[in-house]
Chains A and B, each alone.
Chain A
Amino acid sequence: MNVLILLIFISVILAALAVALFVYSVRNEDLDHSLQLSLKPLEDDR
């Protein structure tokens, strides 16, 4: 059962890292260019 503590600890770290990466990505406006790109398939190409 001791391994549970380690697993929870690592999981919390990983979750915190994931949140940090997300915040970083939002602050950097990494994905803000995407509105224009999402229109690509809709261009009239027959």
Chain B
Amino acid sequence: MIEEVQVTYDDVSVRRFLWASVLWGAVGMLVGLIIASQLAFWQLNGPGTIPWIQFGRLRPLHTNAVIFAFVGNMIFAGVYYSTQRLLKTRMASDFLSSLHFWGWQLIIVSAAITLPLGLTQGKEYAELEWFIDIAIAVIWVAFAVNFFWTLVKRHEKNLYVAIWFYIASILTIAVLHIVNSLALPSDVLHSYSAFGGVQDALVQWWYGHNAVAFFLTTPILGIMYYFMPKAIGKPVYSYRLSIIHFWSLVFLYIWAGPHHLLNSALPDWAQNLGTAFSVMLWAPSWGGMINGLLTLRGAWDKLRTDPVVKFFVAAVTFYGMATFEGPMLSIRSINALAHNTDWIISHVHGGALGWNGFMAAGMFYFLVPRLYGTKLYSERLANLHFWVGLVGIVLYMASMYVSGITQGLMWRALTPEGTLLYPNFLESISASRTMYMVRAVGGLLYLSTFLVMAYNLIKTARAGSAQTVSLTVSVEGKTAAKAAPSAAQLLVSPIMGLIVLGLILSMALGVQGKTIGVGVLVALALFALLVRALRARGVGMYGGTPWHELIEGKALLFTVLVLIAVLIGGMVQILPMVFSEQAVALARTQTPYSPLELAGRDIFRREGCYVCHTQMIRQIASESLRYGPPSEAWESMYDHPFQWGSKRTGPDLARVGGKYPDLWHFKHMQDPRSTSQGSIMPSYAFLADSRLDTERIPRVMNVMRRLGVPYDGPAIDGAVDAAKAQAKGIADGLNAQGETAAPDTELIALIAYLQKLGTDMNRPQAQK
């Protein structure tokens, strides 16, 4: 029986998110241009008296603004528009839609205020403090409730592939955000990661990598699967391929996080898992890319005539390039060259500017004329946007490839005698300066054309009026509902096979014992026999309905299966790391920081030093020659949060303690060029005048004790006095050498912290 239902879509929310994305995109890219210029011209950091305009504080603002404000709002616009049309229903709750929009914008404004103020958790792409993290969780849940409620009241039985990607994204981001944001607050404005050292590193990059995967990729793939066919007027090249693309991508992606920690102190088993699954990602990623591009079959002429198609095709091509490069960079030997260099910056911006930015542009050019019932104001401006923006991306990426590979090669170059050819780290930075200028030009071109797009879209909107789409949809009446498939039917389905395959592979790679190896094979054989037996009994088809069509029509079952597929990888990696002592072999124990060092560490985190300095000497010969013995996991076991970093615009600091006298640090922080000719580091002169808040120290130590750092009561009670005594010792030493150093300043605490780094290795200590 067919019923007719009147549906009015909520396009108000779509318009809101769309314009918010345009606005925040411009802001985020402008901040990006500023920090790119600061790297080319260090003077743009100011005289060292205005901390909130310096690189270390603005860089997190740039990344958060672009990822969560620009791309986030773009995703929501695409999801709200396509979900309603694919499900033939209005979003379930106007209130939740409004709450989602305004809540998200409030979070963005909070980030824009707190990050320049130095309120940060010190974890990349997860810098926002605990109270904002809670707000993110609440708003995300509101979005999820609205979305899944819409699924429940849909007028379309089967879920189109775009919806699957949205389901996976919403679920996974919730899990990632909640786990990685677990922290203990010390006061209203500050908190400390619940995880420490190597565990924090793994959790953070499990989150960081999958923020790329499930925030910057899977929802955009959903948008691709909806908007590309729409723009081209043809169905996606292969819907079958999209099914394989979806399941393999969501299953494999979650495992790849450890490739951000290759050659580090992360246990080998986790590194190997990260590499193996990253390489496997080649297949689904390129399957999706090819599926997108071949949607143009028979309509390639649109690439020449339609700006929307032009942006989409270029975006998908960038997706292909980035997803070829990602697995390649996950191979240890290539990673050894590329990691910590500008090569990674190039890779990231290929994805951000090319894939995300151009998908957003294509979607905006498609949507605005429809949302306002008019034609695009100027196709010529859109074409200008495309070509000049493309030149901007090429300049950006090419310059960062050149500087990145230059840095990687210079850091590892050896003389015939086996010593470092470029022992001064700053030589590699000086060699990169020209490329930093080219990068800034590329960014300027890209931002300029983004503003051209904003102008074009505003003119388009003003030429029309906001449309309200109301239509009658034909809905199949409730016929005899089919029961959910039985456990046996699920067992013989390919999806279950995929899950089992993953489990087996993970065990095979993660264990070395013969017993477990044989056990894996026996389990494999038993599973095969079970499948064969079930097939012999005719289990597998459900009333003539193929299994995938069946689950496409059952939103809850589909969601549960997605959750299982996504969680397996996370559990196999995270749970042993957090709960098993065998999984992380710690040879010794770290000496806890003194009260003053702990306070100095907070300043290091606040100023974003970790965005330019690593604290992880990798297991690479040239790194040992430059910095000392490779870092070991125990050396940072009490670090909440870990500060291993991921980029070296300055040298590694893991063993900087004792390398230079206090006087060197005192001068270097206030005027980096006075001790390090060619440095592009900002001046931190203000730290010499900022008073250290010693009253905070006992609170922080209490939090650390609750997190497992062995501070006892007397140590906490005497923390303030101990900090003052240590600070006086450092200041007295500096003053004796003719400086004017006040012991109660933040600079003294920071020096104390830096002088502690790496010194445990030389300290006699009983084996753990």
Minimum C-beta distance from A26 to chain B (A): 9
A 12-46 to B, binary, CB cutoff 8 A, 1 in contact else 0: 01100110011011001111111101111111011
B226 touches A37 (CB 8 A): no
User: Given the known A-B contacts A21-B494, A37-B239, A38-B239, are A28 and B546 also in contact in the complex, defined by CB atoms under 8 Å?
Assistant: yes
Does B549 belong to the interface (CB within 8 Å)? yes
Contacts of A43 in B (CB 8 A): 85
A46 touches B370 (CB 8 A): yes
Picked from B235, B498, B501, the residue with its CB within 8 Å of the CB of A38 is: B235
Contacts of A37 in B (CB 8 A): 158, 160-161, 239, 552
Q: Which residue of A lies closest to B160 (CB)?
A: A40
Minimum C-beta distance from A30 to chain B (A): 4
Picked from B86, B370, B501, B528, the residue with its CB within 8 Å of the CB of A41 is: B86
Interface centre among B161, B370, B467 (most CB of A within 10 A): B161
Minimum C-beta distance from B469 to chain A (A): 5
Q: Which of B45-93 contact A (CB under 8 A)?
A: 82, 85-86, 88
Contacts of B161 in A (CB 8 A): 37
Contacts of A1 in B (CB 8 A): none
Does B628 belong to the interface (CB within 8 Å)? no
A42 touches B233 (CB 8 A): yes
B547 touches A30 (CB 8 A): yes
Does A4 belong to the interface (CB within 8 Å)? no
Contacts of B512 in A (CB 8 A): 3
For B, the interface residue count at a CB cutoff of 8 angstroms equals 44
A46 touches B524 (CB 8 A): no
Does B488 belong to the interface (CB within 8 Å)? no
Contacts of A21 in B (CB 8 A): 494, 497-498
Rounded to whole angstroms, the CA-CA distance of A18 and B236 in the bound complex is 25
Contacts of A6 in B (CB 8 A): 508, 517
B243 touches A34 (CB 8 A): yes
Minimum C-beta distance from A35 to chain B (A): 7
Q: Which residue of B lies closest to A22 (CB)?
A: B494
Q: Which residue of A lies closest to B552 (CB)?
A: A37
Contacts of A39 in B (CB 8 A): 235
A34 touches B504 (CB 8 A): no
Does B229 belong to the interface (CB within 8 Å)? yes
Q: Which residue of A lies closest to B493 (CB)?
A: A30
A31 touches B243 (CB 8 A): yes
B226 touches A41 (CB 8 A): yes
B501 touches A24 (CB 8 A): no
Rounded to whole angstroms, the CA-CA distance of A32 and B243 in the bound complex is 11
Does B240 belong to the interface (CB within 8 Å)? yes
Q: Which residue of A lies closest to B546 (CB)?
A: A30
A33 touches B546 (CB 8 A): yes
A17 touches B546 (CB 8 A): no
B540 touches A28 (CB 8 A): yes
B240 touches A45 (CB 8 A): no
Interface centre among A10, A41, A42, A46 (most CB of B within 10 A): A41
Rounded to whole angstroms, the CA-CA distance of A42 and B226 in the bound complex is 9
Contacts of B297 in A (CB 8 A): none
Picked from A24, A33, A42, A46, the residue with its CB within 8 Å of the CB of B469 is: A46
Contacts of A34 in B (CB 8 A): 239-240, 242-243
A14 touches B505 (CB 8 A): yes
Contacts of B82 in A (CB 8 A): 41
B471 touches A45 (CB 8 A): yes
Rounded to whole angstroms, the CA-CA distance of A42 and B234 in the bound complex is 7
User: Given the known A-B contacts A21-B497, A41-B226, are A13 and B524 also in contact in the complex, defined by CB atoms under 8 Å?
Assistant: yes
Contacts of B540 in A (CB 8 A): 24, 28
User: Given the known A-B contacts A17-B497, A38-B239, are A45 and B469 also in contact in the complex, defined by CB atoms under 8 Å?
Assistant: yes
B501 touches A14 (CB 8 A): yes
B471 touches A33 (CB 8 A): no
Contacts of B234 in A (CB 8 A): 42
Q: Which residue of A lies closest to B9 (CB)?
A: A45
Does B548 belong to the interface (CB within 8 Å)? yes
Contacts of B549 in A (CB 8 A): 30, 33
Q: Which residue of B lies closest to A24 (CB)?
A: B494
Contacts of B235 in A (CB 8 A): 35, 38-39, 41-42
Does B541 belong to the interface (CB within 8 Å)? yes
Does B459 belong to the interface (CB within 8 Å)? no
Contacts of B498 in A (CB 8 A): 21
Contacts of B528 in A (CB 8 A): 17
Minimum C-beta distance from B287 to chain A (A): 13
Does B156 belong to the interface (CB within 8 Å)? yes
Minimum C-beta distance from A32 to chain B (A): 7
User: Given the known A-B contacts A21-B494, A31-B243, A34-B243, are A14 and B546 also in contact in the complex, defined by CB atoms under 8 Å?
Assistant: no
B 232-266 to A, binary, CB cutoff 8 A, 1 in contact else 0: 01111001101100000000000000000000000
Q: Which residue of B lies closest to A6 (CB)?
A: B517
Picked from A14, A18, A28, A40, the residue with its CB within 8 Å of the CB of B541 is: A28
Q: Could you write out 27 A-B pairs with CB less than 8 Å apart?
A: A6-B517, A7-B508, A10-B508, A14-B501, A14-B504, A14-B505, A18-B501, A24-B494, A30-B494, A30-B546, A31-B239, A31-B546, A31-B548, A33-B546, A33-B549, A34-B240, A37-B161, A38-B239, A40-B156, A41-B82, A41-B230, A42-B229, A42-B233, A42-B234, A46-B467, A46-B469, A46-B471
Given contacts A28-B546, A46-B469, 8 further A-B contacts (CB under 8 A): A13-B524, A21-B494, A28-B540, A28-B541, A32-B546, A45-B85, A45-B471, A46-B467
Interface residues of B (CB under 8 A from A): 82, 85-86, 88, 156, 158, 160-162, 225-227, 229-230, 233-236, 239-240, 242-243, 370, 467, 469, 471, 494, 497-498, 501, 504-505, 508, 512, 517, 524, 528, 540-541, 546-549, 552
